[in-house]
């Protein structure tokens, strides 16, 4: 196929029925970019000889060097089938876990996905992750099983064995899809039941049959199966790909069998009975060759055998003739048989043909977007779709129509911003002249020349031939012009040099036509269409001067681009259903956004990211004077990367948080070479820790039971330690670990106890942090008297969370605990709990949204006490940074058992307005609204006096400080432990390097969870956990030690308590003998803790050299 012209693509963009927006997803190295190369080559953008070697879409230098993709990039392709022309907007995505956020940005813009699988490795962790991502975004997948050549040449399987192997792979993929489907059906069923019941809450003894929905739901279309037409077998590197459809047509002609019959039987347990000339079932049982092997695989195997293995010239010539393909003589002579192979294959079974045909026939066009997906995109957070304003709900139809009508509102979603060098923009690019331009110039030159000649002739008649020569010379020079001189520069150069980077939005139009220069609203993630519609005048548009609405801004679209891999092509407009690049949003959009011409449009649901950034480094410029450049560079980096986070810590350090080592390296390179353009130095990765308390151990360090006596002794010790440094007047620690603290002005007293939370509760809280945040949001709005319409799903999730907590927190210690939860922390959604065990204090329940309707009367009766919020703030501060090394706490429950306020001395009228007081807000400010209350001027005055009399400052502030201190003391009264972040990794290795993999894991304190053999191969899959602190350089080390045969991918999984006690000192004789006096032999926890303290500039208690005996001996010997 020839080079597709831009005009062709522009005309195709107007027909959404023939557009396919698709992305390529897979585990790392399964061949996405290679496959993309083949598809790109089919459009003549790159030569088909280079397809697979060039990796055209890996445009970054480091992508080429490392051989992995690091960003998603798009390209528009044309495909013709029969009388239909299709436009494919193809997005290649990275497979490495560190860049999984790039996958999310790609998936959001697509309607379908090509899932690529390595035929040898099969389903890998990232394959499961991408299938899930596709599922969550409601996009339809098709499957390409790639690298079939490895089965032939590497594993040396026979065609029959390969068939069994492929069947197994298919089962594995379908198992993943199946489990996703089941969980969805269950969820929907639950929702339906809930809706049917309405407000009626189910009674305990009702039992629902959750699986009922499974039988009704039809899932046959979901699964991958060659006979469904959604699977292609391929070898992207050799350029071939085949679908059953292709072979069914060939053989139906050749053998006179109905195509339909062949389509059903080519894949499966069928065989050809040559005698009866019939297709029969039961190939396996009868030991016959399945049809697929006989008619499809054997052909391929024979070809490889002839061309690659045996290099049988005669046979090759025969095959070439029978296939009717043309092979150039130089391919025949080439020393590498693979060249000949791909020359034959790419004509016989071109992979682009097989894949694109499948994509066009099996994946939906933008017109086929489902209602379900639209509703999901439109309902953000806890809101339900049917509670959105009516005009917003009407927009659903606009989505479904995907109309490019002039009147249709424009709706665009920007999934990421990517940086390009302004010089690479089409308007700034140097480009060769077109034929017309050359002709035009020639005309101009000619005219000028004749004019000059005429002028010369009038003055002095020169020799004719000289003039002619000069004319010819000029024309020649023009046509032979050097590329550098044959350029046109359209934009002013000054403007381009101003900025070092320009940001282009990676986006898709869901409705309407986006035009260059158009004014458009930018809807922030918190924009509320209901609010916008009431505040904005009816029928107003983004080009009007609009009043200020929160989270809404206007901007104009500077430029529109067609994304063509490494290039951008300028366009005037982009109709609905297409992927595009937009310039001009960089000052308005940070990473993602929704754009619309209608203020009724809601912001889209935020992107779902699989991996959270975990590796942090502090960054500083080599030369301190270049700090401003660094700051600017980091800001740009933050915008250009969907997942990297940039922040300034309290210590003033500039910190970069990335998803993993590879991602970190890429960010640093970008910062150095593109965004800051200065030398930078990065600290060692800052490893995050958590602090927690555990139950008192029952055995000592040498595994002996603690006697009762010793326990008492330990408690006494704790008590002494606890009270150390605090005036005993205000602080009291009792033997059970209850800490009582009085504020300096003696007005308030709190008693707090720290209790370790069960592990599963901590996990649950950690996993539900989003939900807890929503819960907090709901409670805030309830407090403010606003009524928020909460979706059934959220309510149900909250109910479920509560039930789970109740289930997990059993026993006398936790009686009524769930109902008396006061807050979660830190940041109000963390994995720590504040419990209200104050006798007689009935505060509004945290779960009030669940029982709102029924018990509103009771809820009103429970008003929060004055200064309730100060207690919460103190708790938040205490959980944000613990006493061990100022890292956040995790899995700690603080139970408040006493809280007295001497209210006689306290200003009376503090009510819920105090609630909003954060940290150290002065009392005057929080009480300000009441000053307008005319009835209480005298009381006010009284209060002012009371405050000024209090030399310690406002009560709320003191209470926060006291609460924080009490929590810290209570924490220290328990056995404290550090928690380390842990990665899980899956390593695939052959048996001969297995030992080395174990060696590296052992050295780095990794723990192997399980090991199994991959069926049909000699590979082992090892699953292990590894502390983040020990993970740096791990992948490199494994790769080196196994000569590149095994390469692990690390995914953050959970937090693990480090069992050793950082404060431990020997207390018994045995321990003393075992660990030595200072017990400094190998206290890993202490090492970590001190490292963190040192980094943060906190006091570290350690002795550097105590007895320098060794040095002395050495010097003596000299």
Which is nearer to ligand GTP, 30 or 78 (by Cβ)? 30
Token pair of 724 as six digits = 């150390």
Smallest separation, CB 228 to ligand GTP (Å): 23
Token pair of 878 as six digits = 């205490």
Token pair of 630 as six digits = 């660094």
Question: Residue 110 in contact with residue 620, Cβ under 8 Å?
Answer: no
* Residue 591 contacts which entry, Mg ion, ligand GTP, none (Cβ below 5-8 A, type-dependent): none
Which of the stretches 62-70, 433-441, 501-509, 1012-1020 binds Mg ion when contact is defined by CB under 5 A?
62-70
Count other C-beta atoms under 10 Å from residue 758's C-beta.
16
Smallest separation, CB 224 to ligand GTP (Å): 18
- Applying CB under 6 A, the site for ligand GTP has a residue count of 22
Report the distance separating Cα 332 and Cα 557, nearest Å. 54
Which is nearer to ligand GTP, 34 or 428 (by Cβ)? 34
Residues 6+ apart with CB under 8 A from 179: none
Q: Which of 20, 96, 140, 591 binds ligand GTP (CB under 6 A)?
A: 96
Which is nearer to Mg ion, 78 or 96 (by Cβ)? 96
Which is nearer to ligand GTP, 93 or 379 (by Cβ)? 93
* Residue 968 contacts which entry, Mg ion, ligand GTP, none (Cβ below 5-8 A, type-dependent): none
Report the distance separating Cα 1053 and Cα 1044, nearest Å. 25
Which is nearer to ligand GTP, 154 or 1018 (by Cβ)? 154
* Residue 96 contacts which entry, Mg ion, ligand GTP, none (Cβ below 5-8 A, type-dependent): ligand GTP
Smallest separation, CB 147 to ligand GTP (Å): 4
Which is nearer to Mg ion, 103 or 523 (by Cβ)? 103
x/- track of binding to ligand GTP for residues 222-251 (CB under 6 A): -------------xxx--------------
Count other C-beta atoms under 10 Å from residue 322's C-beta.
8
The interface with Mg ion within residues 370-409 (CB under 5 A) comprises: none
Which is nearer to ligand GTP, 95 or 888 (by Cβ)? 95
The interface with ligand GTP within residues 41-80 (CB under 6 A) comprises: 55, 67-69
Which of the stretches 67-75, 152-160, 284-292, 1046-1054 binds Mg ion when contact is defined by CB under 5 A?
67-75
The interface with ligand GTP within residues 640-659 (CB under 6 A) comprises: none
- Applying CB under 5 A, the site for Mg ion has a residue count of 3
* Residue 616 contacts which entry, ligand GTP, Mg ion, none (Cβ below 5-8 A, type-dependent): none
Question: Residue 584 in contact with residue 416, Cβ under 8 Å?
Answer: no
Smallest separation, CB 148 to ligand GTP (Å): 7
Report the distance separating Cα 97 and Cα 1050, nearest Å. 8
Report the distance separating Cα 597 and Cα 945, nearest Å. 56
- Nearest Cα neighbor of 552 from 562, 541, 563, 560 is 541
* Residue 73 contacts which entry, Mg ion, ligand GTP, none (Cβ below 5-8 A, type-dependent): none
Token pair of 1096 as six digits = 């943060």
Which is nearer to ligand GTP, 146 or 511 (by Cβ)? 146
Residues 6+ apart with CB under 8 A from 766: 831, 890, 1054, 1055
3-state secondary structure of 1017: coil
Smallest separation, CB 441 to ligand GTP (Å): 43
Largest CA distance in the chain: 126
Which is nearer to Mg ion, 14 or 66 (by Cβ)? 66
Which is nearer to ligand GTP, 68 or 349 (by Cβ)? 68
Peptide bond into 447 cis (omega under 30): no
3-state secondary structure of 986: strand
* Residue 28 contacts which entry, ligand GTP, Mg ion, none (Cβ below 5-8 A, type-dependent): ligand GTP
Residues 6+ apart with CB under 8 A from 1006: 985, 1000, 1024, 1025, 1026, 1027, 1030
- Nearest Cα neighbor of 750 from 959, 1047, 973, 921 is 959
Which of the stretches 68-76, 323-331, 894-902, 939-947 binds Mg ion when contact is defined by CB under 5 A?
68-76
DSSP of 847-877, one letter per residue? TGGGGTTTTHHHHHH-PPPTTHHHHHHHHHH
Report the distance separating Cα 334 and Cα 1045, nearest Å. 30
Instruction: Please classify residue 995 by burial: count the beta carbons closer than 10 Å to its beta carbon, then call 0-12 exposed, 13-18 middle and 19+ buried.
Output: exposed
976 binds Mg ion (CB under 5 A): no
828 binds Mg ion (CB under 5 A): no
Residue 147: left if φ>0, alpha if ψ -120 to 50, beta else—which one?
left
Which of the stretches 15-23, 61-69, 323-331, 733-741 binds Mg ion when contact is defined by CB under 5 A?
61-69
Which is nearer to Mg ion, 69 or 1017 (by Cβ)? 69
* Residue 820 contacts which entry, ligand GTP, Mg ion, none (Cβ below 5-8 A, type-dependent): none
The interface with ligand GTP within residues 20-39 (CB under 6 A) comprises: 26, 28-34
Question: Residue 1061 in contact with residue 1076, Cβ under 8 Å?
Answer: no
Question: Residue 529 in contact with residue 388, Cβ under 8 Å?
Answer: yes
Token pair of 604 as six digits = 């889209």
Which is nearer to Mg ion, 94 or 532 (by Cβ)? 94
Which string of b and e fits 563-593 if b means at least 16 CB within 10 Å?
bbbeebebbebbbbbbbbbbbbbbebbebbb
Token pair of 228 as six digits = 């469904």
Q: Which of 20, 78, 147, 583 binds ligand GTP (CB under 6 A)?
A: 147
* Residue 147 contacts which entry, Mg ion, ligand GTP, none (Cβ below 5-8 A, type-dependent): ligand GTP
150 binds ligand GTP (CB under 6 A): yes
Minimal CB distance to ligand GTP: which residue? 95
The interface with Mg ion within residues 13-52 (CB under 5 A) comprises: 32-33
Smallest separation, CB 120 to ligand GTP (Å): 9
Smallest separation, CB 58 to Mg ion (Å): 6
Question: Residue 422 in contact with residue 502, Cβ under 8 Å?
Answer: yes
* Residue 123 contacts which entry, ligand GTP, Mg ion, none (Cβ below 5-8 A, type-dependent): none
Which of the stretches 92-100, 485-493, 810-818, 828-836 binds ligand GTP when contact is defined by CB under 6 A?
92-100
- Nearest Cα neighbor of 425 from 571, 639, 555 is 571
Q: In this structure, is the dihedral angle defined by the CA atoms of residues 685, 686, 688 and 692, taken in order, positive or negative?
A: positive
Count other C-beta atoms under 10 Å from residue 935's C-beta.
7
Which is nearer to Mg ion, 33 or 48 (by Cβ)? 33
Smallest separation, CB 94 to Mg ion (Å): 6
Count other C-beta atoms under 10 Å from residue 794's C-beta.
20
Question: Residue 948 in contact with residue 924, Cβ under 8 Å?
Answer: no
* Residue 72 contacts which entry, Mg ion, ligand GTP, none (Cβ below 5-8 A, type-dependent): none
Q: What element of type H or E holds 894?
A: strand 892-901
Which is nearer to ligand GTP, 355 or 410 (by Cβ)? 355
The interface with ligand GTP within residues 107-146 (CB under 6 A) comprises: 146
3-state class percentages of the chain: helix first, strand second, coil last, to nearest 5? 45, 20, 35
Which is nearer to ligand GTP, 236 or 750 (by Cβ)? 236
Smallest separation, CB 127 to ligand GTP (Å): 11
User: Could you give the strand order of the β-sheet that contains 832-836, starting from the edge strand earlier in sequence?
Assistant: 731-733, 739-742, 748-756, 892-901, 832-836, 821-825
* Residue 751 contacts which entry, Mg ion, ligand GTP, none (Cβ below 5-8 A, type-dependent): none
Residues that bind ligand GTP (CB under 6 A): 26, 28-34, 55, 67-69, 94-96, 146-147, 149-150, 235-237
Residues that bind Mg ion (CB under 5 A): 32-33, 69
């Amino acid at each position: 196929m020839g080079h597709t012209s831009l005009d062709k693509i522009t005309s195709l963009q107007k027909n959404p029925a023939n557009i396919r927006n698709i992305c390529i997803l897979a585990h790392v190295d399964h061949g996405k970019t290679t496959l993309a190369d083949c598809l790109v080559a089919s459009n003549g953008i790159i030569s088909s000889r280079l397809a697979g070697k060039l990796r055209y879409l890996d445009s970054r230098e480091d992508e080429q060097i490392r051989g992995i993709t690091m960003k998603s990039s798009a390209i528009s392709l044309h495909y013709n089938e029969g009388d239909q022309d299709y436009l494919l907007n193809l997005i290649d995505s990275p497979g490495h876990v560190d860049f999984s956020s790039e996958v999310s940005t790609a998936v959001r813009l697509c309607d379908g996905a090509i899932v690529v699988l390595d035929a040898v490795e099969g389903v890998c962790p990232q394959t499961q992750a991408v299938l899930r991502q596709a599922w969550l975004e409601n996009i339809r997948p098709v499957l390409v099983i790639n690298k079939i050549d490895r089965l032939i040449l590497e594993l040396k399987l026979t065609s029959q064995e390969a068939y069994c192997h492929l069947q197994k792979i298919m089962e594995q993929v379908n198992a993943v899809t199946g489990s996703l489907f089941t969980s969805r059906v269950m969820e929907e069923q639950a929702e339906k039941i809930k809706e049917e019941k309405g407000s009626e809450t189910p009674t305990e003894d009702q039992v629902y049959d959750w699986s009922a929905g499974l039988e009704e739901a039809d899932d046959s279309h979901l699964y991958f199966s060659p006979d469904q037409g959604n699977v292609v077998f391929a070898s992207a590197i050799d350029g071939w790909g085949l679908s059953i459809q292709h072979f069914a047509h060939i053989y139906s002609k050749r053998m006179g069998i109905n195509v339909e019959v062949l389509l059903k039987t080519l894949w499966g347990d069928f065989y050809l009975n040559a005698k009866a000339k019939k297709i029969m079932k039961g190939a396996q049982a009868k030991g016959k060759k399945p049809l697929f092997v006989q008619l499809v695989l054997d052909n391929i195997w024979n070809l490889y055998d002839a061309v690659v293995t045996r290099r049988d010239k005669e046979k090759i010539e025969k095959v070439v003739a029978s296939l009717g393909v043309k092979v150039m003589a130089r391919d025949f002579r080439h020393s590498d048989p693979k060249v000949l192979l791909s020359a034959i294959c790419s004509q016989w079974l071109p992979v682009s043909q097989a894949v694109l045909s499948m994509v066009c026939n099996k994946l939906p066009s933008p017109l086929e977007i489902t209602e379900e997906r639209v509703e999901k995109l439109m309902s953000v957070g806890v809101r339900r779709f049917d509670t959105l304003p009516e005009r917003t709900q009407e927009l659903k139809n606009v989505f479904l129509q995907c109309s490019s009508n002039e009147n249709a509102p424009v709706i665009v979603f920007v999934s990421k911003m990517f940086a390009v060098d302004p010089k690479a923009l089409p308007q700034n690019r140097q480009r060769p002249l077109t034929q017309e331009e050359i002709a035009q110039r020639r005309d101009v030159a000619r005219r000028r020349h004749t004019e000059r000649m005429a002028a010369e002739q009038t003055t002095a008649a020169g020799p004719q031939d000289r003039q002619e020569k000069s004319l010819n010379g000029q024309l020649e020079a023009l046509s032979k012009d050097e590329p550098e001189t044959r350029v046109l520069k359209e934009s002013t150069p000054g403007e381009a040099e101003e900025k070092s980077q320009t940001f282009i939005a990676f986006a898709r139009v869901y409705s309407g036509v986006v035009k260059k220069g158009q004014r458009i609203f930018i809807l922030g993630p918190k924009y509320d269409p209901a609010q916008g519609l009431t505040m904005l005048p009816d029928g107003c548009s983004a080009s009007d001067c609009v009043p200020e609405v929160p989270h809404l801004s206007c901007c104009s679209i500077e430029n529109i681009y067609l994304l063509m891999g490494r290039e951008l092509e300028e366009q005037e407009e982009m109709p609905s259903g297409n992927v595009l690049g937009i310039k001009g949003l960089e000052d308005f959009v940070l990473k993602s956004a929704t754009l619309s011409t209608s203020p009724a449009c809601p912001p889209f649901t935020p992107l779902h990211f699989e991996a959270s950034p975990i590796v942090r480094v502090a960054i500083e410029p080599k030369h301190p004077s270049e700090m401003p450049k660094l700051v600017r560079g980091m800001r740009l980096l933050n915008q250009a990367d969907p997942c990297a986070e940039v922040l300034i810590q309290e210590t003033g350090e500039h910190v970069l948080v990335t998803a993993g080592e590879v991602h970190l390296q890429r960010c640093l390179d970008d910062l150095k070479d593109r965004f800051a353009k200065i030398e930078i130095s990065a600290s060692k990765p800052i490893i995050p820790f958590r602090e927690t308390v555990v139950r008192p151990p029952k055995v000592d360090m040498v595994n002996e039971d603690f006697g009762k006596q010793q326990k008492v002794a330990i408690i006494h010790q704790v008590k002494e330690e606890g009270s150390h440094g605090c005036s005993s007047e205000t602080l009291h620690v009792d033997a059970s670990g209850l800490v009582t603290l009085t504020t300096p002005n003696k007005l308030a007293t709190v008693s707090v106890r720290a209790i370790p939370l069960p592990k599963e509760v901590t996990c649950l809280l950690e996993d539900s942090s989003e939900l807890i945040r929503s819960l907090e949001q709901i409670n805030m709005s309830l407090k403010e008297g606003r009524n928020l319409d909460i979706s059934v799903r959220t309510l149900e999730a909250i109910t479920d969370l509560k039930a789970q907590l109740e289930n997990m927190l059993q026993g006398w210690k936790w009686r009524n605990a769930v109902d008396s939860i006061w807050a979660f922390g830190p940041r109000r959604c963390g994995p720590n709990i504040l419990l209200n065990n104050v006798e007689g204090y009935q505060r509004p329940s945290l779960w009030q949204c669940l029982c709102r309707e029924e018990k509103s009367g009771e809820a009103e009766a429970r008003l929060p006490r004055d200064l309730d919020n100060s207690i919460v703030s103190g708790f938040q501060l205490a959980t944000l940074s613990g006493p061990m090394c100022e890292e956040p706490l995790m899995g700690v429950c603080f139970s408040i058992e006493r809280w007295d306020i001497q209210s006689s001395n306290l200003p009376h009228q503090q009510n819920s307005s105090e609630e909003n007081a954060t940290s150290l807000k002065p009392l005057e400010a929080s009480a300000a609204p009441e000053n307008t209350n005319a009835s209480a001027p005298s009381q006010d005055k009284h209060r002012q006096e009371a405050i000024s009399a209090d030399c310690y400052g406002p009560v709320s502030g003191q209470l926060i400080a006291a609460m924080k201190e009490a929590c810290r003391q209570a924490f220290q009264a328990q056995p404290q432990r550090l928690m380390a972040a842990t990665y899980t990794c899956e390593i695939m290795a052959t048996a001969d390097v297995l030992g080395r993999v174990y060696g590296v894991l052992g050295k780095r304190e990794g723990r192997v969870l399980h090991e199994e053999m991959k069926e049909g191969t000699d590979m082992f899959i090892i699953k292990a956990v590894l502390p983040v602190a020990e993970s740096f350089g791990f992948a490199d080390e494994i790769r080196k030690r196994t000569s590149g045969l095994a390469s692990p991918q690390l995914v953050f999984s959970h937090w693990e308590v480090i069992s050793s006690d950082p404060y431990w000192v020997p207390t018994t004789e045995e321990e003393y003998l075992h660990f030595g006096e200072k017990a400094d032999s190998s206290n890993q926890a202490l090492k970590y803790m001190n490292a963190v303290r040192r980094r943060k500039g906190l006091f570290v208690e350690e002795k550097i050299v105590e007895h320098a005996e060794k040095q002395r001996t050495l010097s003596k010997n000299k």
